[in-house]
Amino acid sequence: MADEEIKKEEEAVASEEDKDTEAETEVSEADELRAKVKELEDTIADLKDKALREAAETENYKKRLRQEKENAVKYANEALIRDLLDPLDNFSRAIEASEKSKDFDTIRTGVVMVEDQIHTLLKNNWGLEAYSPEGEDFDPSDMEACMMQEVEGLDKEKVLQVFVKGYKLHGKVIRAAKVVVGKPKSN
């Protein structure tokens, strides 16, 4: 019987050791799970931080683009205005000269020179060209008929007189010439 008791005692000790091993295993698995949860929480926090930073950078980029666009629009004509300053100064000088002198021909010559300076500047630097289609065939795509007159001897509509010159910017009509159109006399 003593053998049986010893066997039972050994079994009881083995059973206790198994329980301790199982408990240690459960504790070890729980620690591993806690560590994994902590690791995942840290990863989530890092990803949230990165997402917030990227959203802030994107918003700042959009603000910079908006500001640059506003400045581009606001100062788009800066070079044109700078180009026109010299002719404006020349007009001021012409006005001052007209106050001191009553020589109409000299003043007129000065004003014509300033006008030529402006036209040359706008043509060479900005692609603006004036056109005056007197005597040409009437073209409604770049002329506006203000009056029509029947004229003998015409076979098609012609520009008889130009009221207002037209202007083209790089070939595109930005202001149509206002004209008097002669049309063939109807019989």
Q: How far apart are the first and last CA of the chain?
A: 149
Residue 166 confidence (pLDDT)? 96
Q: Give the domain-ending residue among 75, 98, 114.
A: 75
Q: Do 104 and 66 have their domain in common?
A: no
Instruction: Provide the domain count of the chain.
Output: 3
Smallest CA-to-CA distance from 178 within 155, 162, 154, 156 is with: 162
Q: Do 143 and 91 have their domain in common?
A: no
Residue 19 confidence (pLDDT)? 64
Q: Do 45 and 111 have their domain in common?
A: no
What pLDDT digit, counting tens, does each position of 27-70 carry? 788 889 999 999 999 999 999 999 999 999 999 999 999 999 99
- Give the whole-angstrom CA distance, residue 148 versus residue 133: 15
- Give the whole-angstrom CA distance, residue 83 versus residue 127: 13
Q: Do 83 and 114 have their domain in common?
A: yes
Residue 13 confidence (pLDDT)? 62
Q: Do 121 and 136 have their domain in common?
A: no
Q: Do 178 and 143 have their domain in common?
A: yes
Q: Do 120 and 88 have their domain in common?
A: yes
Q: Do 158 and 183 have their domain in common?
A: yes
- Give the whole-angstrom CA distance, residue 44 versus residue 39: 9
Q: Which residues of the chain have pLDDT under 70?
A: 1-2, 10-24, 187
Q: Do 114 and 140 have their domain in common?
A: no
Residue 153 confidence (pLDDT)? 87
Q: Do 7 and 42 have their domain in common?
A: yes
Q: Do 9 and 67 have their domain in common?
A: yes
Q: Give the domain-ending residue among 75, 93, 114.
A: 75
Return the CATH number at 185. 2.30.22.10
**Residue found under tokens 């506003």:** 70
Q: Do 96 and 166 have their domain in common?
A: no
Range of the domain at 15: 1-75
Residue 113 confidence (pLDDT)? 93
> pTM of the entire structure?
0.61
Residue 181 confidence (pLDDT)? 96
Crossing angle (nearest 10°) for helices 78-100 and 104-126: 170
